[in-house]
């Protein structure tokens, strides 16, 4: 049985993907595919597995559950839980993207022994804006100028995150997809995960779960908590990140995408086309060949379209 990890990221349509997967569980099962989403992983299965205090029995619990799944005839187990790589609050505390992804995934990798891990990324300005909105609705205070300045100054990019992930999972094929292309195509993401070029179809717009709240809702939540909303609103929009900082983040994202398209130093495969058949092909073609020369990776990316 192949084990494939869907790592999110947060605020990158992971909940929408999980809703899609639940809606097509029966046809997936007929193909030998099972999806474990947070309803399965957050009921004790992954408790303490990614922590520094992880014990052998924590790893054993995961391996026993995986073995039981294989015994039921599952050929491909997709584990979809964005908290595997960290939490929104941890990112905000550290003022950077997933600071502990390396340590966490090294431990989870030892438990699952995955063949592939898929990470969906999003432009940093959009990601932080959505993440901060999500946290405000869960009683977090609005971001202050010092915190925002620290986030921008940290300059931790998705390239850094992917590099940490690849180091943590040296025997796992790493695949990266862009939120901007795949948010409305969970079937294409399923294709990249399972290597099935014809997964159960998702109609465009059918799955849009856990979207960021409106500016009116955010303003009301802040007011109820005794915080002024005005500093985070511009022209009626939730916009906590200053324009200059947002522009810097967008430039960093363009650099990330350039690196991924150029072969990611052989660490990851970038799947940009949200057509399911092409996503499956690109994600799996030579996906287990890590550390190849850049020219070879570039040739394969160009050939994939």
CA distances from 144 to 151, 217, 240, 250, 303 (A): 11, 19, 9, 21, 46
Q: What is the mean pLDDT of the chain?
A: 89
Query: Residue 214's pLDDT is what?
Result: 73
- CA-nearest of 133, 142, 126 to 210 is 133
Whole-number pLDDT of residue 249: 94
What's the mean pLDDT in 283-304?
46
pLDDT given for residue 228 in this prediction: 67
- For residues 142 and 26, the model is more confident at 26
| Backbone phi, psi, residue 218, to 5° | -65, -40
Residue 108: give the domain boundaries. 2-304
User: Which comes out higher in pLDDT, residue 297 or 17?
Assistant: 17
- Greater confidence (217 vs 296) lies with 217
Q: What is the pLDDT of residues 205-259, one digit of tens each?
A: 767 777 777 777 777 777 777 776 656 767 667 888 888 999 999 999 999 999 9
Q: What is the pLDDT of residue 231?
A: 63
Q: What is the pLDDT of residue 246?
A: 92
- For 29-50, how does the pLDDT look when each residue is reduced to its tens digit (9 = 90+)? 999 999 999 999 999 999 999 9
Predicted structure pTM score = 0.89
Read off the pLDDT of residues 68-119 as tens digits, 9 standing for 90 and up: 999 999 999 999 999 999 999 999 999 999 999 999 999 999 999 999 999 9
Query: How many domains is the chain built from?
Result: 1
Task: Kindly tell me if the per-residue pLDDT of 1 is higher than 90.
Answer: yes
For residue 230, the model assigns a pLDDT of: 56
């Amino acid at each position: 049985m192949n084990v494939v990890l869907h790592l999110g990221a947060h605020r990158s349509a992971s909940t929408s993907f999980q809703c899609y997967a639940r809606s097509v569980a029966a046809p997936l099962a007929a193909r030998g595919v099972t999806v474990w989403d947070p309803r399965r992983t957050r009921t004790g299965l992954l408790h303490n597995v990614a922590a520094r205090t992880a014990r052998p029995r924590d790893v054993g619990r995961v391996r026993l559950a995986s073995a039981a799944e294989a015994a039921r005839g599952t050929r491909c187990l997709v584990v979809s839980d964005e908290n595997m790589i960290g939490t929104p609050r941890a990112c905000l505390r550290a003022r950077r993207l997933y600071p502990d992804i390396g340590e966490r995934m090294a431990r989870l990798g030892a438990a699952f022994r995955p063949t592939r891990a898929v990470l969906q990324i999003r432009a940093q300005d959009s990601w932080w804006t959505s993440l901060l909105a999500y946290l405000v609705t869960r009683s977090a205070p609005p971001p202050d100028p010092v915190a925002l300045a620290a986030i921008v100054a940290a300059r931790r990019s998705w390239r850094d995150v992917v590099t940490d992930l690849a180091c943590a999972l040296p025997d796992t094929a790493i695949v990266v997809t862009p939120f901007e292309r795949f948010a409305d195509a969970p079937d294409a993401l399923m294709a990249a995960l399972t290597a099935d070029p014809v997964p159960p179809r998702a109609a465009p717009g059918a799955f849009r779960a856990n979207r960021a709240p409106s500016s009116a809702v955010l303003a009301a939540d802040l007011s109820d908590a005794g915080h002024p909303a005005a500093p985070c609103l511009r022209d009626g929009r939730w916009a906590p990140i200053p324009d200059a900082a947002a522009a810097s983040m967008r430039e960093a994202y363009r650099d990330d995408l350039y690196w991924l398209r150029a072969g990611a130093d052989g660490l990851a495969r970038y799947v940009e086309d949200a057509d399911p058949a092409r996503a499956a092909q690109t994600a799996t073609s030579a996906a287990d060949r890590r550390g190849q020369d850049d020219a070879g990776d570039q040739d394969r990316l160009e050939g994939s379209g």
